[in-house]
């Protein structure tokens, strides 16, 4: 699930070390951009980054019952979460810390991070839990 780290996406995948989700942001368009890219897809401007609130809603999801990876217990929930900051600002993720059959479209969620080693670095994979859930 973890992509190769590049200059464009490194901050997104490692920025969670401080507990916040850092998303590429175009100052010229005043828009966030996901997935991370080298330039703004609208104006070709340089992208900075800003921390978002980490809150959003489940845009769509599927429950995966097939154990593809022995390290990942099934069933688990694969979802697209739309971040609160901007319509169409969406991230592919997992929903955690809840029963898999309790997930619904539109459910409010908040970001958490799962630290995983990747090629000698630690990446902080953003996952989402129901707003108010305890881990
Ligand atoms: Zn732009």
Query: pLDDT 10s digit of each residue in the chain, 135 long?
Result: 677 899 899 999 999 999 999 999 999 999 999 999 999 999 999 999 999 999 999 999 999 988 777 777 889 999 999 999 999 999 999 999 999 999 999 999 999 999 998 888 899 999 999 998 876
Query: How many whole angstroms from 11 Cα to the centroid of ligand 1?
Result: 18
Q: What is the pLDDT of residue 133?
A: 80
pLDDT at 43: 97
Q: Confirm whether 69 is domain-assigned.
A: yes
Question: Which pLDDT value is given to residue 17?
Answer: 94
Give me the domain span that covers residue 43: 10-125
> Do the beta carbons of residue 13 and residue 5 sit within 8 Å?
yes
For ligand 1, the distance from its centroid to the CA atom of residue 9, given in whole angstroms, is: 17
In a domain, 63, yes or no: yes
Question: In angstroms, what is the span from residue 115 Cα to ligand 1's centroid?
Answer: 31
- pLDDT of amino acid 119: 80
Question: Domain for residue 130, yes or no?
Answer: no
If you measure from the C-alpha of residue 40 to the centroid of ligand 1, how many angstroms do you get, rounded to a whole number?
5
Q: What is the pTM of this model?
A: 0.91
Map residue 127 onto helix, strand or coil: strand
The 3 state secondary structure assigned to 8-72 is CCHHHHHHHHHCCCEEEEECCCCEECCCCCCECCCCCCECEEEECCCEEEEEEEEEECCCCCCCC
Report if residue 4 sits inside a domain.
Answer: no
Number of domains in the chain: 1
17 in a structural domain: yes
- Report the separation in Å between the CA atom of 48 and the middle of ligand 1, taken as the mean of its atom positions: 10
């Amino acid at each position: 699930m973890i992509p190769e780290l590049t200059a464009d996406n490194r901050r997104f995948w490692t920025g969670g070390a401080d507990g916040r989700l850092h998303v590429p942001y175009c100052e010229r368009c005043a828009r966030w951009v996901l997935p991370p890219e080298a330039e703004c897809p609208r104006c070709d401007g340089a992208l900075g980054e800003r921390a978002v609130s980490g809150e959003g809603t489940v845009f769509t999801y599927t429950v995966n019952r097939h154990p593809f990876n022995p390290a990942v217990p099934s069933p688990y929930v694969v979802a697209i979460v739309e971040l609160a900051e901007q319509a169409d600002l969406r991230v592919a993720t997992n929903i955690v810390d809840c029963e898999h059959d309790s997930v619904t479209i539109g459910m409010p969620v908040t970001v958490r991070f799962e630290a995983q080693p990747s090629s000698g670095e630690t990446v902080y994979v953003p996952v989402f839990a129901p707003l108010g859930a305890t881990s």
